[in-house]
Structures are given as structure tokens and as C-alpha cells.
């Protein structure tokens, strides 16, 4: 029996010096709505939320109903939830996953996202025994490429015309794929 999902479920909270990566709660709706309703924050990740009620519904259906590998990013200093980070498309058989994240624009430029992603990477390889982690971003999202490269991910390929933009249905997005393998992680 593969114990990856059990292992993920057994470790719902990860911690860094400044951050708690913890399950998202319904009470996080106001903090989440603050950044998830902002097009500048969400434009490369998902369509902005329109209301607090929609945010609560999304928390219930996507984070409470399916919490495995999904974390709210909370600042320890003020207990504010300022972003989300997750393992997506977890494959138990191959022990692989894709990482995804978003951060309130008011907290950018402080090294928070590399700190959170490095914790996800370290825990992923050390505790969860992943074989590889994939990161995908819209080629126009240069901030995401910097975070991914800072955390040791290596360029794989570029996929033109991979999907439609969340806001401009006439724009086809070129996605860029990066991977970090357990071998790359251990030699990093």
C-alpha cells in the first residue's frame, strides 16, 4: 500500500522561521478574499473571486473538502493568511506532484514565497519522499520564474498555446515547465 496520502494527511502543518503553512479554514475567507479578489495578484493563477460569499464557497469545496497537500500561508507575526501553496496533481504511484502558489501582492519582495516553496520542497523530498516536483507558470509571469529558479527547479520545456488566459479569452498562454528531482535536490 502506498502511504503518500496518509503521510501528507499526517502532516497538515509545516513551519518556517516566519511562516506557518497550515490548512485553510473558513475563517480565512476575509484574508483570502483580500488577495484572491485582486486581478494583479491572481491574473496568472486563477480568475479573481467576486465576493466574500464566493470565497467561502471555494474554501469549502476546494480546501475543506479536499485538504491534502494544500496550505494557507500565515505570517506568524500577525497570524494573517497572506497566500496559498500546494502540492497539486499528486501521483502516489510515481511519487510526483506539481507545486502551485499565490501571494498577496502587499507581501511580495520580502522573500516569503521562496521561503514557503523551499519548505514545501524540503518536506516533499525529506518527509514525503517525492521523486520529483513540477512547477508550471505563464511565460509572462517573470516573478514566478524567479521564485522557481531560486528554489532550485530546472527548466524542462516551453509549451506554446497550452491554454486560454483567465482574463483575455483571445490570448493563448505559453506555459513554462520546470522540474526538481530528488537527485537535483540532494546535490543542491
Q: So what's the pLDDT on residue 1?
A: 42
SS3 37: coil
Measured CA to CA, the distance from residue 138 to residue 35 in angstroms comes to 19
Closest-CA residue to 28 (of 56, 64, 65): 56
Q: So what's the pLDDT on residue 138?
A: 86
SS3 159: strand
Rg (CA), the chain: 16
Question: Regarding beta strands 19-22 and 96-103, do their DSSP bridges make them parallel or antiparallel, or are they unpaired?
Answer: unpaired
pLDDT tens, position by position, for the chain (188 residues)?
Answer: 468 989 999 999 999 999 999 999 999 999 999 999 998 888 888 888 999 999 999 999 999 999 999 999 999 999 999 999 999 999 999 999 999 999 999 999 999 999 999 999 999 999 999 999 999 998 988 889 999 999 999 999 999 988 887 777 888 988 999 999 999 999 87
Work out the angle at residue 122's Cα, subtended by the Cα atoms of residues 116 and 124, and round it to the nearest 5 degrees. 100
Q: So what's the pLDDT on residue 134?
A: 98
Q: What domains does the chain contain, in order, with CATH numbers? A: 4-187 (3.40.630.30)
Q: How many CB atoms lie within 10 A of CB 131?
A: 14
Whole-model pTM? 0.91
DSSP code of residue 48:
P
Q: So what's the pLDDT on residue 188?
A: 75
Three cell numbers written together for 82: 497572506
Alpha carbon separation from 92 to 15, 57, 128, 132 (Å, rounded): 24, 28, 10, 12
Q: Which residue has the cell 546535490?
A: 187
Q: So what's the pLDDT on residue 141?
A: 87
What is the per-residue DSSP string for 66-135? S-TTEEEEEETTT--EEEEEEEEEEETTTTEEEEEEEE-GGGTTSSHHHHHHHHHHHHHHHTS--SEEEE
Amino acid at each position: 500500500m502506498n502511504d503518500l496520502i496518509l503521510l501528507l494527511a499526517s502532516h497538515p502543518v509545516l513551519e518556517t522561521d516566519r511562516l506557518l503553512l497550515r490548512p485553510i479554514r473558513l475563517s480565512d475567507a476575509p484574508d483570502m478574499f483580500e488577495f484572491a479578489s485582486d486581478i494583479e495578484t491572481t491574473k496568472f493563477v486563477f480568475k479573481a473571486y467576486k465576493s466574500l460569499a464566493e470565497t467561502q464557497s471555494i474554501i469549502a469545496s476546494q480546501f475543506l473538502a479536499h485538504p491534502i497537500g494544500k496550505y494557507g500561508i500565515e505570517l506568524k507575526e500577525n497570524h494573517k493568511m497572506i497566500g496559498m501553496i500546494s502540492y497539486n496533481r499528486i501521483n502516489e504511484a510515481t511519487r510526483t506532484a506539481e507545486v502551485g502558489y499565490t501571494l498577496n501582492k502587499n507581501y511580495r519582495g520580502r522573500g516569503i514565497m521562496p521561503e514557503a516553496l523551499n519548505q514545501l520542497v524540503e518536506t516533499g523530498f525529506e518527509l514525503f519522499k517525492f521523486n520529483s516536483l513540477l512547477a508550471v507558470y505563464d511565460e509572462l509571469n517573470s516573478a514566478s520564474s524567479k521564485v522557481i529558479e531560486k528554489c532550485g527547479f530546472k527548466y524542462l520545456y516551453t509549451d506554446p498555446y497550452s491554454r486560454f488566459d483567465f482574463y483575455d479569452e483571445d490570448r493563448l498562454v505559453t506555459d513554462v515547465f520546470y522540474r526538481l528531482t530528488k537527485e537535483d535536490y540532494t546535490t543542491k
